[in-house]
A and B are shown apart, each in its own frame.
Chain A
Amino acid sequence: MFDISLFVLMLLGALLALAVYLPLRAGQLSLATPGFYTIGGTVAALLSTTVPELGGNEQTYPLTSVFLELMLAIPLVALLAFLIGKPVLKLKGIYLAIATIALVEILRVVLLSSPWFGAAVGIFAIPQPFEGPEGYAAAFAVLLGITAWGCQRLETEPLGREMAAIRNDELAARCMGVNSERVKLIAFVLSAIIAAAAGVLAAHFFNSWSARQASFDASITTLAFVVLGGSRTWLGPVIGGLVLTALPELLRPIGDLRLIVFGLVILLGPIFIPQGLIQQKRS
């Protein structure tokens, strides 16, 4: 039996993986994705539960309101990512990774402790724009389709090539006239936008939302999606996200052992397939 809710989670995993992949394409290991994802979800949860005008007269929550939430969450997160990215992207390698982990932790603690965001219990009874998981699957599929298409286009566009150049050698790229600061910032903001959009949809899908979504575990698990799927082309993170989200669920019959097997996959993956499942064609 194929579970549609699981399919929705798989699509969500693929989206978040693409959000991690974009900065990585420009050589930047940013683990801020769950942070922006949480902000997107929080915006949607707050708006849909506190603004009665958004609810409309129908039984189900209007899709136009979800669209409005997106239109509000995306510029907000883009601005935030821009302001954060400016100073943070000056950091290199593992320093950037840890600074972004610090950011996500700060965000999580603040959201969990302040009563405005539902504190530790979270925000409940988020209205549903769809009656069943099928609607969500369609919505997530559309979002993933747009994002994947964008990422695929990027691979042939000048911007994408500049990103790849920075990943291979930032200094050389700068010598060739690539404005590396600008390119890295664009990648960071785009990644934040993807994560926030996924968060808006996810808040409705999960029906409740709390800052626990922004955990260190989530940061690293999404990174594992990208690395195991393959971090050189857009298809890698998508496959990695789909497969690795499904894996713990498919392993459910083996009970308590499933997370140990999941750990083994993450441990052995990079050892046996260092390039990831989807490898770049050599030209």
Chain B
Amino acid sequence: MEVWLQLLVNGISIGAVYALFALGYTLVFSVLGVINFAHGAVFTCGAYFTYIFLGGVVGSNGLLATQKLPVTFPLAIALVLAGLTAAMVGLLVETVAFKPLRRRGAEPLLYLITSLGAGVIIVNLIQLLMGAEAYALPSNILGSMPAVLALGHGIQIRTVQLLLLLVGGVTMLILNIWLNQSLGGKALQAVAEDTTTARLLGINSGAMIQLAFAIASFLAGLSGGLVALSVNIGGPYFGISYGLKGLGVLVLGGLGSVPGAMLGGLIIGITEAFVPAKLSAYKDAVAFAFLFLVLIIRPQGLFGKPPIEKV
């Protein structure tokens, strides 16, 4: 019973981060109708930025070897700064890889390739600047908080997991309120619904698309930082598997559906947590097998609208 509960909490906390990350894909997809394959690379950026803002020293293999920031930020500020810096990277990706195609109304296939190219460039720039080695965030980031919380009945939960859950949950709540209550959020939804009509109503759709990219990349950067709190940054290719899992979450929930991405993240996180330790090597396969089954049974995902074939 206790173990069961512990796994559930672990699953929910990593699921919250998956959801946060997948929401970025969702936002971009809902306004542009394409998938941003550079999203995983932006996530990686977020992890590295968090390391730098926490006062980490660059290893010996990159061009920036042994450099560090003159200041060290507390965790909360470092995470926000990492998110903001990632948002700038995202805006740059939009300008270089998406805008020229968007202007021409190019076919969606081309966006896959240009965004992938942007991702390749980002990942290799990180490798060039920071080297290929793994990085671990400093161990004292949690300050006076204990590393493991005992919740009684023998349930032990890493403080980091709770932090993931808390930050993930609060961010999603804020995003939801913003999307549904504010003028900007509604304008974004209008662009997602119908770009042409939105433009006729006086919404600057180009600016909204940039806003979607900025928010999406902020979420990617933040989730990169959060994941880096929980596991080491394994190198510049760190984000690829998360990028894929995020795609899985996106499709599981239904493309372009905000609640779908949240639920999808939780489902994948919890499913993974309950894979027995003996079979842990198959953990990634379980998430994808689940995704595959859902697609076969319900091709539009859990929350997606079934496509209407128009003649």
Contact = CB atoms under 8 A, between A and B. Distances in A.
B288 A102 contact: yes
B127 interface: yes
B162 interface: no
A262 B120 contact: yes
A268 B117 contact: yes
A267 B113 CA distance: 7
Interface string B275-295: 000000110110011011001
A87 to B, nearest CB: 5
B150 interface: no
A270 B296 contact: no
Contacts of B97: 267, 271
Contacts of A109: 281-282, 284-285, 288
B116 A220 contact: yes
Given A227-B113, A266-B113, A270-B106, A260 B285 contact: no
Interface residues of A, number: 45
A110 B299 contact: no
Nearest to A98: B251
A95 B284 contact: no
A217 B240 CA distance: 9
B62 to A, nearest CB: 9
Question: B97, B121, B240: which has the most chain A beta carbons within 10 Å?
Answer: B121
A256 B244 contact: no
B91 to A, nearest CB: 16
A92 B96 CA distance: 28
A196 to B, nearest CB: 21
A4 interface: no
Question: A102, A106, A216, A224: which has the most chain B beta carbons within 10 Å?
Answer: A102
Contact of A91 (B109, B248, B295): B295
A270 B288 contact: no
B117 A265 contact: yes
Interface in B123-165: 124-125, 127-128
Interface string A244-283: 0000000000001101101111111111001000000000
A152 interface: no
B108 A263 contact: no
A95 B285 contact: no
Contacts of A274: 101, 104, 106, 110
B66 to A, nearest CB: 18
A257 B13 CA distance: 38
Interface string A78-96: 0000000001101111110
A95 B295 contact: yes
Contact of B117 (A87, A171, A231, A263): A263
B106 A105 contact: no
B255 interface: yes
Contacts of A216: 240, 244
B121 A263 contact: yes
A138 interface: no
A101 interface: yes
A102 B296 CA distance: 12
Interface in A57-112: 87-88, 90-95, 97-99, 101-103, 105-106, 109-110, 112
Contacts of A263: 117-121, 124
B303 interface: no
B114 interface: yes
Nearest to B118: A267
A165 to B, nearest CB: 15
B288 A95 contact: no
Contact of B120 (A93, A257, A259): A259
B117 A101 contact: no
A92 B299 contact: yes
B289 A106 contact: yes
A109 B311 CA distance: 42
Q: Which 4 A-B pairs have the closest CB atoms?
A: A267-B117, A263-B120, A266-B117, A113-B281
Interface of B: 35, 37, 96-97, 100-101, 104, 106, 108-110, 112-114, 116-121, 124-125, 127-128, 240, 244, 247-248, 250-251, 255, 281-282, 284-285, 288-289, 291-292, 295-296, 299-301, 307, 309, 311
12 contacts: A91-B299, A95-B299, A98-B247, A98-B295, A99-B296, A102-B292, A112-B281, A224-B117, A259-B127, A260-B124, A266-B120, A267-B97
Given A94-B108, A105-B285, A231-B109, 6 more contacts: A98-B251, A224-B116, A224-B117, A256-B124, A260-B120, A269-B117
